[in-house]
Amino acid sequence: MSSSTTTQKVPVVVPSSTGTGKSGRTTVKVNTDVVTKDADAIYSKYTYQNASVKRLPEGKYEVTPTKVDYEFKLDTKIPKTGIMLVGLGGNNGSTFTAAVLANRNNISFHTKNGVVEPNYFGSVTQASTIYLGVDENGKDVYAPFNEVVPMLHPNDLVIGGWDISKLHLAESMKRAKVLDYDLQRQLVPLMTDMAPLPSVYYPDFIAANQGERADNVIPGTDKWVHVEQIRKDIREFKKKNGLEKVIVLWTANTERYSELIPGVNDTADNLLAAVKASHDEVSPSTVFAIASILEGVPYINGSPQNTFVPGCIELAEKHESFIGGDDFKSGQTKLKSVLAQYLVDAGIRPVSVASYNHLGNNDGFNLSAPQQFRSKEISKASVIDDMIESNHILYNDKLGKKVDHCIVIKYVPAVGDSKVAMDEYYSELMLGGHNTVSIHNVCEDSLLATPLIIDLVVMTEFLSRVSYKEANDSKYLSFHSVLSFLSYWLKAPLVRPGFDPVNGLNKQRSALENLIRGLAGLAPINDLKFEERLQ
């Protein structure tokens, strides 16, 4: 294992002293008696309605509607926030940094098709809208997602992080081959002085072909020393930049799965003891997660490995620190979470889903190793599980409860960051009929993933300002440590132990919209549209 002893600058991208002024902008005023405001917060009342169900013999159900009255508090002051990326010098990290700089500095650039203005297309928080209601003519009205209640704007982020490669960010951007030359040319002066901090490198957890990049690592093999170094890095980054809040996000290489071993990573205490003993099954991503949790910093896992072993989740709960994961849901898997739900909801029975990918970036290079591919295969395969479980007419003991799910990923250097995905959905129709849906999708991988990083950071910061209580309680509480509201952006959504994940993209989006609507004083989205259906 190579190590770096070179003194490196603390990597930062510092906004102007006055910021961009975009954080916290709201354009929606709701006339309601369920919301009150003061100088620091918005207080809203919300009745959560669901139903309790008992399964009875002969396939019958007894349903009892339920409702709970909650009161929410949303702190309206947007803190000065920093994001520290693990994998800052990778394709995603350099593209994310470039995107923020291009937008903050309003850098337009030339392509063969003309001039492109900077934007955040692909980001839900920056480039999508939320339904508000109807106007006086019965037309639907939508507002920008980030202007209903106060949210952080990515232009105001301070950026830093770690990487096992010591290349400064301008060279990392060039190596990634994601952005057009004219944009890179203008960004180079802004990124040349930015260098990642040394990172954690345990060769057993990533492909051997990554060894050549590992020239910027925290020395030694003592994993507790590594935890303490990362904690120190977070504190220094926060102090140097005058930050009120820091979020850490893993966008580095996919690791192999950690073996789950009783007495090693099954409880918080055992996991900490395993780190102090430098146990072989403590991964770099788990080291970063532990350091973040102990610092009270939210930690998001953007890769498919099992970073959040049971002991890590318990540690987050114990320290009431936010965590979220796993694995960015960008192109093929996002489409799968829509199409599988459409088929099952339509009463069509998918019996096989075959997915093939080839890509030529460093992610594909790392995934060419079997153990790292297995981590990705697991996260991709689980995305349709809850759709299958939702329909016992199509999936039961007689017909079978599984879908034949095949996943292939190949490394093809020539295509670079343009990932090619091909999917075939083979389904049963009535009376022995069959239906095949074939999809060919070509996407620029990092330009799909980077907006997800933006959304995960913006929403994590937002959710950290929300607290709630039942109507008769006196104390406000934060959300559970596992931020399952982030599931929209993640292939294998991490959920609170004992609960099942929701993978359907429409359901995940609906939850986000309804939370924001509720905090603003609006009822959940209602698509009945009686205005046009009743006389």
**Residues labelled as active-site residues:** 327, 376, 419, 491
Contact 151, 125 (CB under 8 A): yes
Contact 128, 209 (CB under 8 A): no
Query: Helix axis angle, 223-240 relative to 284-294, nearest 10°?
Result: 50
The pairing of strands 158-163 and 41-56 is unpaired
Token pair belonging to 46? 């919300």
What is the rounded CA–CA span in Å between residue 91 and residue 346? 39
Report phi then psi at 366, rounded to 5: -65, -40
How far out from the chain centre does Cα 409 lie? 21
What is the rounded CA–CA span in Å between residue 219 and residue 486? 34
| Degrees, nearest 5: CA angle 420-423-424 | 155
What is the rounded CA–CA span in Å between residue 91 and residue 173? 7
Q: How many CB atoms lie within 10 A of CB 115?
A: 9
What is the rounded CA–CA span in Å between residue 326 and residue 303? 6
Burial 311-342 (b: 16+ CB within 10 A, else e): bbbbbbbeeebbbbbbbbbbbbbbbbbebbbe
3-state secondary structure of 198: strand
Instruction: Please provide the DSSP assignment of 229-243 as one string.
Output: HHHHHHHHHHHHTT-
